[in-house]
A = this chain, B = another copy of it.
Amino acid sequence: MAVYTDVSDEALATFLAGYAIGELVAFRGIAEGVENSNFQLRTTQGDFILTLYEKRVNVRELPWFLGLMQHVAGQGVSCPQPVADKAGVLLNTLAGRPAAITTFLPGVWPRRIRLAHCRPLGQALARLHAAGQSYAPVRPNSLGPEAWPPLFESCRAGANAVLPGLEAELDAALARIVPFWPGNGANPDLPRGQIHADLFPDNVFFLKDSVSGLIDFYFACTDMLAYDIAICLNAWCFEEDGSFNVTFARHLLQGYEDIRPLTQPERDALPVLARGAAMRFLLTRLYDWINTPADALVTPKDPLDYLKRLRFHLATETLDGYGV
């Protein structure tokens, strides 16, 4: 469900009058995405997406996100391209929310991941990284390893109610990840750039097993490129029963390296990055699980899916385990 804010006819008409994109033809809420309100917008000039940014998005960061989308689209990455209004402005206000119009992307996100998706996904991720290299503005990753201990503290008291022993397990896991994180202390840093940081299947559109576009850049940030691969290993390479699909992982990495071969330090760091990625999603889901009111519009995702992934990564010491 993703329409939190409704838009009056007059407000929409006034808003659209600021853009040179033709006359309104259709306007429907989209039942996907969980952070913002999205509407499919059709005008006499074509199809667009209208996004109202809800409270979880920091309005001061929106220019960074929209700038990144505009930049990588200009480099040939298929992603929603922000549409400027008549004054050249990408970000406006509608129904009391920051709002932007972006181009419509064809494609369907895969409800079930198949092997055929993985190599094109890896290629698309590497192309995004390459395109982002020339985007200079920096956005630190606000959900990186420094954020995990305080995030865990904020839900520590509820952890064992979710699963007995979870509190101790997460303490032990954090101690096995954070000190070993690339760039921390004496650990070598890795190649950095703009990463998507949330490239789950519902953010990747396919047409006939080719990637037709990437969407939802609102967790993107400047971080180690290989961390984005680690997120995809978590998001794309586990079966519903929690088992790791090493063939999916091999194809994903092959696809990535078709475009940008990994350095040896990146390869060596992949297990700890994968652990960290599992920790990041486990902690935010745990927080949402504990803090979402029962009558909320969005059902929180089960944090324990990511505990299974975390356990797998903690048991996987070398790249062999990832099919490389």
Contact of B26 with A28 in the complex, beta carbons under 8 Å:
no
The residue of chain B having its C-beta at the shortest distance from the C-beta of A6 within the complex is B111
Give the one of A25, A26, A105, A294 with max B CB within 10 A.
A26
Name which of A7-15, A167-175, A189-197, A311-319 contacts chain B. Answer: A7-15
Q: How far is the CA of A229 from the CA of B313 in the complex (A)?
A: 64
Query: Which residue of B has the minimal Cβ distance to A11?
Result: B111
Q: Which residues of B contact A110 (CB under 8 A)?
A: 9
> Which candidate, A29-37, A71-79, A250-258, A283-291, is the interface stretch facing chain B?
A29-37
A46 to B317, CA, bound (A): 51
Residue A129 is within 8 A (CB to CB) of chain B in the complex:
no
In the assembly, what is the distance between CA of A111 and CA of B110, in Å? 33
Query: CB-CB < 8 A to A26: which residues of B?
Result: 104-108, 205
Q: Decide: A8 and B40 in contact? CB cutoff 8 A.
A: no
* A112 touches B (CB below 8 Å): yes
Residues of chain B within 8 A (CB-CB) of A31 are 1-3, 28-31
Chain B residue nearest to A30 in the complex (CB): B28
Please report the total number of A residues contacting B with Cβ < 8 Å: 37
B294 to A294, Cβ gap below 8 A?
yes
CB contact under 8 A between A32 and B32, given known A9-B110, A9-B112: no
Asked if A295 lies at the interface with its beta carbon under 8 angstroms from chain B, I say yes
Q: Does A151 contact B (CB under 8 A)?
A: no
Contact A42 B106 (CB under 8 A): yes
A24 at the interface (CB under 8 A from B): yes
A9→B40 contact, CB < 8 A: no
Interface: A138 (CB within 8 A): no
A324 within 8 A of B: no
Question: Is A19 part of the binding interface, using a Cβ–Cβ cutoff of 8 Å?
Answer: no
At the interface, yes or no: A217 with Cβ under 8 Å from chain B? no
Given A28-B32, A29-B30, A31-B2: A108 and B9 interface contact (C-beta under 8 Å): yes
Q: With the chains together, A114 CA to B23 CA distance in Å? A: 20
Pairwise interchain contact B32-A29, C-beta atoms closer than 8 A: yes
A180 at the interface (CB under 8 A from B): no
- Distance of A30 Cα from B28 Cα, bound (Å): 7
| Cβ of A149 to closest chain B Cβ, rounded Å | 31
Q: How far does the Cβ of A97 sit from chain B's closest Cβ, in whole Å?
A: 15
Minimum distance in angstroms from A171 CB to a CB of chain B? 31
